[in-house]
C-alpha cells in the first residue's frame, strides 16, 4: 500500500473516499495529466502543470491551489511512494454536488486525486516498433482539452487491441489527427510532419519535446495534416506520449512502413530524446 494525493493532503491509499456524486465520476467533468518519472525525477513537470491549468480554464473550472503548491504536493507524493521509474496520474474533477448537468452553485471545491505507479520504459517497443490500425475519429471537437471524457479514445483503443495493435491512428474523413492516447508523426524525405495543434488534437508535451529534438538535429518540421493514404507512404512513422516516448510504427492494417523496419530518422530522434531524460537508465 502506498500514498494518494487527495486535495491538498497526502493520505494512505485506503483513506481516500470518492463520493458517488463526484462530477468526475458521473459526467467525466474534469481534467487530468500523466507525468513520467525517471529514477525519481519528474520529467517536464512544469509543462504538465501548465497544461492542467490551461485545461481547467477551458472548461471554466478554477483549481483551488497554486501551481507551486501542486508541484510541491506531486514531488512529495513521488518521494513518499519511493517511486523510481513510472508515472504520476492526477486528475481534478469539478467537485461533489447533487446530480445536475449545469455547474454546481455556491462553494463547491474541485476534487484532486493523484497517485503513482511503477512502470518501466517500453524498451522493446522503442527498439522494434509496433503495429497500428486506422480508426475513425468519432471524438468531440475540443480534443485540445485533456478531459476525463475518454469514451471515444476507449472505443478506438479497444478496437486496436482486438486487432492485436498497439495504437489506433485516428482520422477524420481520412485526415490523420492523432492516436487514441498519442500524437502521430510521419517522416518523408527527411521532413517531419504532424497535425497542427488545433482543436482536433491534444497538444502532447512529448510532441513538443520531439519537435524541439528535430530542430536540434536540423530536421525540418511541418505542422500540417496528412491523410491515411499519405501515412502509408511515409518513409517512417511514429507515435509519441509521456509513456510511449517515441514509439516507431512499422505496420498499419497489415501494410508495412519502411518494409517493417525502424528508420534512421526515428533512431536519431530517439537518441536526441534520450539526452533529455533525467539520468537515463535502460530498465
Ligand X SMILES: *Cc1c(COP(=O)(O)O)cnc(C)c1O
Mark the segment that binds ligand X (CB under 6 A) among 4-12, 56-64, 119-127, 179-187: 179-187
Given candidates 4, 183, 247, 270, which one binds ligand X under the rule CB under 6 A?
183
Interface with ligand X (CB under 6 A), residue from 93, 116, 133, 182: 182
Instruction: Please pick, among 36, 131, 146, 157, the residue that the annotation labels catalytic.
Output: 146
Burial class (CB within 10 angstroms; exposed 0-12, middle 13-18, buried 19+) of 140? exposed
> Is 30 one of the binding residues for ligand X (CB under 6 A)?
no
Least distance in Å: CB of 34 to ligand X? 6
Give the dihedral sign, CA 93/25/147/71. positive
Catalytic site includes residue 128: no
CB nearer to ligand X: give 81 or 183: 183
Of the candidate spans 13-21, 101-109, 197-205, 259-267, the one that interacts with ligand X by CB under 6 A turns out to be 197-205
Judged by beta carbon, residue 96 or residue 266, the one nearer ligand X is 266
User: What is the DSSP code string of 162-177?
Assistant: HTT-SEEEEEETTEEE
By C-beta, is 131 or 146 nearer to ligand X?
146
Nearest to 163 by CA among 251, 273, 44: 251
Q: Which H/E stretch holds residue 233?
A: helix 228-233
For ligand X, the closer of residues 211 and 250 by Cβ is: 211
Do 22 and 96 form a contact (C-beta atoms < 8 A)?
A: yes
Q: From CA 68, how far away is CA 18, in angstroms rounded?
A: 25
User: Which residue of 22, 29, 178, 245 would you call a contact of ligand X, by CB under 6 A?
Assistant: 178
Count of chain residues binding ligand X (CB under 6 A): 15
State the greatest distance between any 2 C-alpha atoms of the chain, in Å, as a whole number: 60
259 vs 165, 186, 193, CA distance in Å? 17, 15, 20
205 binds ligand X (CB under 6 A): yes
Task: Give the separation between CA 156 and CA 63, rounded to whole angstroms.
Answer: 30
Per CB under 6 A, contacts with ligand X among 84-143 are none
> Binding segment for ligand X among 23-31, 58-66, 89-97, 204-212 (CB under 6 A)?
204-212
The helix or strand, by DSSP H or E, that contains position 27, with its residue range, turns out to be: helix 23-27
Contacting ligand X (CB under 6 A), which of 91, 116, 181, 272?
Answer: 181
Within positions 34 to 73, which residues make up the interface with ligand X, using CB under 6 A? Answer: 34
* Footprint of ligand X on 242-271 (CB under 6 A): 242
Residue placing its CB nearer to ligand X in the complex, 205 or 252: 205
Give the C-alpha distances (Å, rounded to integers) separating 84 from 42, 44, 75, 226, 280: 10, 16, 12, 38, 12
Q: Where are the beta strands (DSSP E) in 197-244?
A: 221-222, 236-241
241 is a site residue for ligand X (CB under 6 A): yes
Give whichever of 104 and 152 is closer to ligand X, judged by the CB atom.
152
Footprint on this chain of ligand X (rule: CB under 6 A):
34, 146, 153, 178, 181-183, 202, 204-207, 240-242
Residues with active-site annotation: 146
Amino acid at each position: 500500500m502506498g500514498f494518494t494525493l487527495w486535495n491538498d493532503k497526502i493520505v494512505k491509499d485506503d483513506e481516500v473516499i470518492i463520493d458517488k456524486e463526484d462530477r468526475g465520476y458521473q459526467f467525466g467533468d474534469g481534467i487530468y495529466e500523466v507525468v513520467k518519472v525517471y529514477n525519481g525525477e519528474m520529467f517536464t513537470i512544469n509543462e504538465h502543470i501548465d497544461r492542467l491549468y490551461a485545461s481547467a480554464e477551458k472548461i471554466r473550472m478554477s483549481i483551488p491551489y497554486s501551481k507551486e503548491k501542486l508541484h510541491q504536493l506531486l514531488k512529495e507524493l513521488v518521494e513518499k511512494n519511493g517511486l523510481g521509474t513510472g508515472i504520476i496520474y492526477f486528475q481534478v474533477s469539478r467537485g461533489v454536488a447533487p446530480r445536475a448537468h449545469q455547474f454546481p452553485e455556491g462553494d463547491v471545491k474541485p476534487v484532486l486525486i493523484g497517485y503513482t505507479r511503477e512502470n518501466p520504459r517500453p524498451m522493446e517497443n522503442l527498439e522494434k516498433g509496433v503495429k497500428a490500425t486506422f480508426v475513425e475519429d468519432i471524438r468531440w471537437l475540443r480534443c485540445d482539452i485533456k478531459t476525463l471524457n475518454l469514451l471515444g479514445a476507449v472505443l478506438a483503443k479497444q478496437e486496436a487491441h482486438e486487432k492485436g495493435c498497439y495504437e489506433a491512428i485516428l482520422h477524420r474523413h481520412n485526415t490523420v489527427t492523432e492516436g487514441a492516447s498519442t500524437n502521430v508523426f510521419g517522416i518523408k524525405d527527411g521532413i517531419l510532419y504532424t497535425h497542427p495543434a488545433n482543436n482536433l488534437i491534444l497538444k502532447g508535451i512529448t510532441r513538443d519535446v520531439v519537435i524541439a529534438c528535430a530542430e536540434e538535429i536540423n530536421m525540418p518540421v511541418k505542422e500540417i495534416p496528412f491523410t491515411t493514404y499519405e501515412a502509408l507512404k511515409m518513409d517512417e512513422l511514429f507515435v509519441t506520449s509521456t509513456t510511449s516516448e517515441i514509439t516507431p510504427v512499422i505496420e498499419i492494417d497489415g501494410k508495412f512502413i519502411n518494409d517493417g523496419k525502424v528508420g534512421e530518422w526515428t533512431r536519431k530522434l530517439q537518441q536526441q530524446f534520450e539526452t533529455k531524460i533525467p539520468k537515463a537508465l535502460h530498465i
